[in-house]
Structure 1
Amino acid sequence: MTESNGSIEQQQAAMPDWEKRFRAPRVSLPDWAEDAPHRALFVSNATGTYELYAWDRGTGQQRQVTNRANGTTDGVLSPDGEWIWWFDDKDGDEFGIWRRQRFTAPKSTDTGDGDSGGGLGAGAGVAEADAPAAPGLEPSYPGGLAIGRDGRTAVVGRSTDEDGSTIHVVRLGEEPVEIYRHRESAGVGDLSHDGSLIAVEHTEHGDAMHSALRVLRPDGSTVTELDDTKGGTVELGLEVLGFAPVDGDTRLLIGHQRRGRWEPLVWDVATGEETDLVLDLPGDVAAEWYPDGSALLIAHSFEARSDLWRYDLASRELVQVPTPQGTVSGATARPDGTVEYLWSSAAEPSVVRSTTGEIVLDPPGLKSPGSVPVEDVWVEGPGGRVHALIQKPAGTTGPLPTVFDIHGGPTWHDSDSFAAGPAAWVDHGYAVVRINYRGSTGYGREWTDALKHRVGLIELEDIAVVREWAVTSGLADPARLILTGGSWGGYLTLLGLGTQPDAWTLGIAAVPVADYVTAYHDEMEALKAMDRTLLGGTPEEVPERFEASSPLTYVDEVKAPVYISAGVNDPRCPIRQIDNYVARLTARSAIHEVYRYDAGHGSLVVDERIKQVKLELDFATRHLPQ
Structure 2
Amino acid sequence: MTSSDSHLTPGTAAASEMPDWEKRFRAPRVGLPEWAEDAPDRSLFVSNATGTYELYAWDRATGTQRQATDRPNGTTDGTLSPDGEWIWWFSDTDGDEFGTWVRQPFAGGPDEPATPGLEPSYPAGLAIGRDGTAVVGRSTDEDGSTIHVVRPGAAPEVVYRHRESAGVGDLSYDGTLLAIEHTEHGDAMHSALRVITLDGATVAELDDSRGGTEELGLEVLGFAPVAGDTRLLIGHQRRGRWEPMVWDVADGTEEDLAVDLPGDVSAEWYPDGSALLIAHSFEARSELWRYDLAARELVRVDTPPGTVSGATARPDGTVEYQWSSAAEPAVVRSTAGGVVLDPPGMRPPASVPVEDVWVEGPGGRIHALAQRPVGHGDGPFPTVFEIHGGPTWHDSDAFAATPAAWLDHGFAVVRVNYRGSTGYGREWTDALKHRVGLIELEDITAVREWAVSSGLADPARLVLSGGSWGGYLTLLGIGMRPDDWAVGLAAVPVADYVTAYHDEMEALKALDRTLFGGTPEEVPERFRASSPLTYVDAVKAPVHIAAGVNDPRCPIRQIDNYVDRLAARGAVHEVYRYDAGHGSLVVEERIKQVRMDLEFALKHLPQGLPR
TM-score clears 0.5: yes
Q: Which one of the candidate residues 328, 349, 366 is aligned to 1:348? A: 328
Q: Which residues of 2 match residues 518-557 of structure 1 at below 5 A?
A: 518-557=499-538
Q: Percent identity?
A: 81
SS in 2 for 1:188: strand
SS in 2 for 1:545: helix
2:127 and 2:168 in contact (8 A); partners too = yes
What is the aligned partner in structure 2 of residue 47 from structure 1? 50
C-alpha distance in 1 between matches for 2:526 and 2:29: 42
Question: In the TM superposition, what is the alpha-carbon distance from 1:171 to its structure 2 partner?
Answer: 1.0
What number of residue pairs does the alignment pair up?
Answer: 597
What is the aligned partner in structure 2 of residue 277 from structure 1? 257
What is the aligned partner in structure 2 of residue 573 from structure 1? 554
Are 2:316 and 1:336 equivalent residues in the alignment?
Answer: yes
Q: Which residues of 2 match residues 252-263 of structure 1 at below 5 A?
A: 252-263=232-243
What is the aligned partner in structure 1 of residue 5 from structure 2? none
Q: Which residues of 2 match residues 536-615 of structure 1 at below 5 A?
A: 536-615=517-596
Cα-to-partner distance string for 1:518-541 (whole Å, 9 max, x where unaligned) = 000000000000000000000000
Q: Which residues of 2 match residues 77-88 of structure 1 at below 5 A?
A: 77-88=80-91
Q: Which one of the candidate residues 401, 415, 430 is aligned to 2:396? A: 415
Cα-to-partner distance string for 1:419-469 (whole Å, 9 max, x where unaligned) = 000000000000000000000000000000001000000000000000000
2:135 and 2:149 in contact (8 A); partners too = yes
Q: Which residues of 2 match residues 492-503 of structure 1 at below 5 A?
A: 492-503=473-484
SS in 2 for 1:466: helix
Are 2:74 and 1:94 equivalent residues in the alignment?
Answer: no
Question: In the TM superposition, what is the alpha-carbon distance from 1:155 to its structure 2 partner?
Answer: 0.4
Query: Gapped runs of 5+ residues in structure 1?
Result: 1-6, 108-127
2:97 and 2:123 in contact (8 A); partners too = yes
Distance 1:465 1:275, change over 3 A: same
Return the TM-score normalized by structure 1: 0.94
C-alpha distance in 2 between matches for 1:370 and 1:568: 34
C-alpha distance in 1 between matches for 2:165 and 2:464: 33
Q: Give the residue type in structure 2 aligned to 1:483.
A: L
Q: Give the residue type in structure 2 aligned to 1:356.
A: A
Cα-to-partner distance string for 1:558-594 (whole Å, 9 max, x where unaligned) = 0000100000000000000000000000000000000
Q: Give the residue type in structure 2 aligned to 1:16.
A: P
C-alpha distance in 1 between matches for 2:346 and 2:130: 38
What is the aligned partner in structure 2 of residue 115 from structure 1? none
Question: In the TM superposition, what is the alpha-carbon distance from 1:392 to its structure 2 partner?
Answer: 1.3
Question: In the TM superposition, what is the alpha-carbon distance from 1:239 to its structure 2 partner?
Answer: 0.1
2:374 and 2:410 in contact (8 A); partners too = no
2:29 and 2:47 in contact (8 A); partners too = yes
Q: Which one of the candidate residues 357, 360, 364 is aligned to 1:377? A: 357
C-alpha distance in 2 between matches for 1:336 and 1:236: 36
Cα-to-partner distance string for 1:88-146 (whole Å, 9 max, x where unaligned) = 000000000000011011x4xxxxxxxxxxxxxxxxxxxx4x21100000000000000
2:94 and 2:550 in contact (8 A); partners too = yes
2:471 and 2:494 in contact (8 A); partners too = yes
Distance 1:176 1:193, change over 3 A: same
Are 2:6 and 1:11 equivalent residues in the alignment?
Answer: no
C-alpha distance in 1 between matches for 2:11 and 2:579: 28
CA RMSD of the aligned region, Å?
1.1
C-alpha distance in 2 between matches for 1:261 and 1:267: 18
Are 2:218 and 1:241 equivalent residues in the alignment?
Answer: no
Q: Which residues of 2 match residues 142-221 of structure 1 at below 5 A?
A: 142-150=123-131, 152-221=132-201
Q: Give the residue type in structure 2 aligned to 1:362.
A: D
Question: In the TM superposition, what is the alpha-carbon distance from 1:397 to its structure 2 partner?
Answer: 1.1
C-alpha distance in 1 between matches for 2:457 and 2:495: 27
2:352 and 2:372 in contact (8 A); partners too = yes
What is the aligned partner in structure 1 of residue 461 from structure 2? 480
Return the TM-score normalized by structure 2: 0.97
Q: Give the residue type in structure 1 aligned to 2:271.
A: P
Distance 1:342 1:556, change over 3 A: same
What is the aligned partner in structure 1 of residue 7 from structure 2? none
C-alpha distance in 1 between matches for 2:149 and 2:227: 20
Question: In the TM superposition, what is the alpha-carbon distance from 1:279 to its structure 2 partner?
Answer: 1.1
Q: Give the residue type in structure 2 aligned to 1:37.
A: P
Q: Which one of the candidate residues 60, 65, 69 is aligned to 2:63? A: 60
Moved over 2 A (4+): 7-11, 230-233
C-alpha distance in 2 between matches for 1:167 and 1:278: 35
2:464 and 2:474 in contact (8 A); partners too = yes
Q: Which one of the candidate residues 387, 390, 393 is aligned to 2:373? A: 393
Query: Gapped runs of 5+ residues in structure 2?
Result: 1-9
Cα-to-partner distance string for 1:313-349 (whole Å, 9 max, x where unaligned) = 0000000000000000000000000000000000000
C-alpha distance in 1 between matches for 2:451 and 2:192: 41
SS in 1 for 2:461: strand
What is the aligned partner in structure 1 of residue 6 from structure 2? none
What is the aligned partner in structure 1 of residue 79 from structure 2? 76
Are 2:258 and 1:287 equivalent residues in the alignment?
Answer: no
What is the aligned partner in structure 1 of residue 4 from structure 2? none
C-alpha distance in 2 between matches for 1:231 and 1:493: 33
SS in 2 for 1:451: coil
C-alpha distance in 2 between matches for 1:9 and 1:597: 22
2:11 and 2:26 in contact (8 A); partners too = no
Cα-to-partner distance string for 1:475-505 (whole Å, 9 max, x where unaligned) = 0000000000000000000000000000000
C-alpha distance in 2 between matches for 1:33 and 1:587: 56
2:11 and 2:27 in contact (8 A); partners too = no
C-alpha distance in 2 between matches for 1:34 and 1:161: 34
C-alpha distance in 2 between matches for 1:462 and 1:203: 29
What is the aligned partner in structure 2 of residue 298 from structure 1? 278
C-alpha distance in 1 between matches for 2:257 and 2:378: 47
